[in-house]
Amino acid sequence: MTKPKALFLFALLIGGCLLLSGCIGTATPMGWSAPVMDDDVIYVGTTEGKVVSYTLFSEPRVAAEWWRFPPRGELGLGGGGGGGFLACMPTASAVMYSTPFVADGAVYIGAYDGRVYALNTSSRVAGYSFPQESEGEWVYPEEDSIGAIVGSPVVAEGILYIGSADGNLYAIDIVTSELAWDSPFATGGYIWATPLVHDGVVYIGSFDHKLYAIDAADGTLVWESPFQTDGAIAATPLFYNNTIYIGSFDRKFYAVDTSTGKAKEGFIPFPAGNWFWGRAVAYDDTIIVGCVDGRVYALDAETGERKWSFPELDEGAVGPIRGDPALAGEVVIFGADDGRVYALDAASGHLIWDYPHGEDRFGPIRASLYAGDGEVYVHDTRNHYIYALGAEHGNVLWSVSTAE
C-alpha cells in the first residue's frame, strides 16, 4: 500500500472514531473547546459555534454573560452546514473545537469553518458589526477558508500560530491579518494539534507521524529532520528542562532533545494501552499525562519509568482521557469520558476527590480543564454548562449555561 493511501485510510479511521466520540444520539456534532480566564473574565467556544465571555463576580461568586459572538439568534461560526471531516451530518450551526487565546483585549479563535477570528472585547460588548477593523478585528482568510481547525491558536511576539486540517501551519500577523511568513509551513498530514511556542521556536505535531520544530520568525525548519513516531500526533507538546514531551497515536509517549530533535538519551518511550491525545504537565521532575486508555500516568522525566498510574494497572480504568489536565499546586485534575472530574495528589497519584458522586455524571469531559485562583473550570459540552469546582474539595462553586 502506498504511503498517501495508507495515511488517507488512517484519517478515515480517526474520523470514524471522532464521529462516534464527538456526536451523541441525535447525530449532532459536538466540539470540545476549553474555558480560559483572563482578568476575571472566562472565554469559551460553544457547541453552537459561538464565542462567549462571562464576567466573574466575587460576592456572591457567580458568572454572568458579558457578550457572545455571533449574537443570540444568529447562526454560529460556519453556520449553514457541517459536512466537514468531523461533522456527523449537515447541521444548522457549527461546532467549536478550538480554545480561545486572549491577549491585550483581543480574543483569537479558530473555527471549524476553516477561518481564524480576531475579536475586540469592547466592540463585542457594544454589539458593533463585525469586523471592526479600526479596533483590530479581522477574519483570516477574508474569503474562502483554509482546512477545518480543530486545534487552538497561540499568539507570541505579535504573531498568531495555528494549524489546519489542510496540513499547514499558519503564522498570521495580528496587526495586519496577513501571513507573517512567505508561505504556510506544509506538513504531510492533517494538523489537529495546538502549537507550542518557546524561545523563538514553534513545535507542532501532524498526522504524518512527525513532530516539527520551526523557526517562529521565518517558518524554516530548526532541526535537521522532524522527530518521527509511528502514529499521528494530535497532542500539544510540553517543554520542560530543554526537552519536548509528547504522546502519539502509536500509544507511546516520547521525550525529544530540543537541541538535536533526536530522542532524549536515557528516556525509554512509555507504552500505554491506547492513544495519547492531551498535553502533559510537569511536576517535580515528573511528567503527568492522561491517555485514551482511561488512565493517568506519572513518568520519570529522565528515564520514562512509570512512577504511578491512576487507576493502578490492576484496577479498572476510568473513561478515555482526551483533554489536558489542570495542575493546581500539588494537585493534578483531569476529566474523563465517564463524565467525572478527578483530583489526584501529583506526587503519589492518590485520589483526593472526584465529582460528581454516586450515579450522577456530567456529559463526557473532552475539553481541557483550566485552573485559576482555587477554582477549576469544566466545560460539559453535552449539557451546555460550565462548572466551577473548588480545587481543594471538588464542590460546585457556580455554574452557567453556554446555550442560546
- The pLDDT > 70 percentage for the chain reads 88
Across 255-277, average pLDDT: 97
| Kind plus residue range of the DSSP H or E element containing 256 | strand 252-257
Gyration radius of the chain over CA positions: 20
**46 Cβ contact list (under 8 Å, min separation 6):** 31, 33, 52, 76, 96, 384, 402, 403
* pLDDT > 80? residue 21: no
* pLDDT > 90? residue 217: yes
Other Cβ atoms closer than 10 A to 57: 12
The three three-digit cell numbers of residue 262, written as one number: 533526536
Cα–Cα dist 354/122, whole Å: 38
pLDDT at residue 61, as a whole number? 85
DSSP letters spanning 174-237: TTT-SBSSSSPEE-SS---SPPEEETTEEEEE-TTSEEEEEETTT--BSSSSPEE-SS---SPP
How does residue 330 score in pLDDT terms, banded at 50, 70 and 90? very high
- The pLDDT > 90 percentage for the chain reads 80
Domains along the chain with CATH numbers: 1-228 (2.40.128.630), 239-404 (2.40.128.630)
162-178: per-residue pLDDT in tens? 999 999 999 999 999 99
Longest dimension (CA), the chain: 63
Other Cβ atoms closer than 10 A to 240: 17
Secondary structure (3-state) at 17: helix
Say which amino acid occupies 96: M
DSSP letters spanning 301-344: TTT--EEEEES-TTS---S---SPPEEETTEEEEE-TTS-EEEE
Q: Which of 37-46, 254-263, 358-367 has the lowest average pLDDT?
A: 358-367
Across 282-287, average pLDDT: 97
* pLDDT > 90? residue 270: yes
CA 239, 244, 247, 248 torsion-angle sign: positive
309-321: per-residue pLDDT in tens? 999 999 999 999 9
The three three-digit cell numbers of residue 142, written as one number: 477574508
Which tops the pLDDT comparison, 52 or 31? 52
pLDDT at residue 87, as a whole number? 41
Cα–Cα dist 369/83, whole Å: 28
Across 133-160, average pLDDT: 95
Phi-psi region of 55 (alpha: psi -120 to 50; beta: other; left: phi over 0): beta
Report the number of secondary-structure helices (H) and strands (E) in the chain.
Answer: 2, 32
* pLDDT > 50? residue 235: yes
The three three-digit cell numbers of residue 197, written as one number: 511556542
* pLDDT > 50? residue 159: yes
Place of cell 483533554: 323
Among residues 175, 197, 74, which one has the least CA distance to residue 120?
A: 175
pLDDT at residue 91, as a whole number? 40
Other Cβ atoms closer than 10 A to 359: 5
Across 127-155, average pLDDT: 94
* pLDDT > 70? residue 9: no
- Distance between start and end Cα atoms, the chain: 48
Among residues 381, 372, 388, 376, which one has the least CA distance to residue 402?
A: 381
Q: What are the C-alpha distances in Å from 367 to residues 107, 370, 377? A: 18, 9, 10
Say which amino acid occupies 193: A
Tell me whether strands 326-328 and 331-335 are parallel, antiparallel or unpaired.
Answer: antiparallel
pLDDT at residue 155, as a whole number? 98
* pLDDT > 90? residue 28: no
Which tops the pLDDT comparison, 145 or 213? 213
Cα–Cα dist 279/301, whole Å: 15
How does residue 13 score in pLDDT terms, banded at 50, 70 and 90? very low
Cα–Cα dist 68/384, whole Å: 14
